[in-house]
Amino acid sequence: MMGEENILTCILAFLAVFVPYLVATAWVQTRGRRRSDSFLKQLPAFYRMSWRFVETISIGLGHDNALLGPARREKYTKAALKSGYPLTAENMLAGQIFGFSAGVITMGLGFFILSGNVRAAFGLGFLGAFLGWVYPVMIVEKRAQERQREIIRSLPFAIDLIASAMRAGLDFGAAIRHYVSLGSKGALTVEFGLLLRQMELGTSRLEALEEMEKHVQTAEFSAFVGAIAHGTEIGASIIDTLLIQGEDMRRARFNLAEQKAARAPALMIFPIAMFILPSVFAIVLVPVFLRFKAAKGG
């Protein structure tokens, strides 16, 4: 039976061959596929620094692979669309594989080289592997949640502004162009810019809105697209539909704020019980205890 030192020696020997091979392969395969700086700036820091390796692993994985099943592919694709990052499901899985390998090498082998403790190195190696596997997906999903919240906050004002522009005589496309031209930075402005570009290329209004719905993926925007589609079918005024949707969204935001405010007392119970009440008891009871002790001693 092999000892722990022999197992670790085999792992080190394997990585001594595999890591240089991976570096050389990444350099050769991505040399002719160098991405522009504008593309890399759209990526989070982890993917930006490791993009050559991620792209190489993505090419090696291919479109059809056992690790990326239908459920995981759909989950990763939706997360990438909602986050706004130009990533594919293969890129996210490749990021996990790279993070897994980097976590094992940096935490496990790095600790072993510094300390020589095999058991602790194995434990840290497992921890690094777990963190490296989870982190690439976590940063995309976190960005997706933040982007959705930002869009929900900005949507009522955007709808009111578009409706006001249409009441002033602009059509739907010109009203969106007016909103985008205001120069306000945000995820919703970017999405409306993509919507405007699709409409300028000949895509119909409803098709462009449905494509934007795939990127936004919020219930509020889905209701907005559904209302415009229904109003177009029955011949209703788009301006009235926009005004009604804007009012409904503001009311929904107000109700959501009320629900969060109603949950605040319940959320405060734990910090009050853990931090505030012990301090109050200490301030009130410690002087009483000291006086009792002094009187008993006297």
CB 242 within 8 A of CB 166: yes
CATH topology for 150-253 is Receptor-associated Protein (1.20.81)
Per-residue CA distances from 290 to 276, 279, 285, 297, 298 (Å): 21, 16, 9, 10, 12
| pLDDT of 208 over the 70 cut | yes
**Percentage of the chain exceeding pLDDT 90:** 3
Q: Which of 23-27, 64-68, 211-215, 257-261 has the highest mean pLDDT?
A: 211-215
All structural domains of the chain with their residue ranges: 4-144, 150-253
**What is the greatest pairwise CA distance in the chain?**
96
Helix ranges, 116-186 (H) = 118-167, 172-181
- Torsion (CA) 135, 137, 140, 145 in degrees, nearest 10: -100
Average pLDDT, the chain: 78
CB 115 within 8 A of CB 131: no
What's the pLDDT at 139?
93
Going 187 to 190 to 196 to 202, the CA torsion angle's sign is: negative
Stronger pLDDT, 83 or 21, i.e. the higher one: 83
- Threshold 0.85, pTM exceeds: no
- Cα separation, 189 vs 178, whole angstroms: 11
Per-residue pLDDT tens digits for 12-30: 556 656 656 665 665 555 5
**Burial bucket for residue 112 (CB in 10 Å: 0-12, 13-18, 19+):** buried
CB 147 within 8 A of CB 187: yes
What's the pLDDT at 259?
76
| pLDDT of 278 over the 90 cut | no
CB 50 within 8 A of CB 136: no
- Cα separation, 64 vs 231, whole angstroms: 41
pLDDT-derived band at 138, boundaries 50, 70, 90: very high
What's the pLDDT at 140?
92
Per-residue CA distances from 203 to 159, 173, 175, 196, 296 (Å): 21, 11, 17, 9, 89
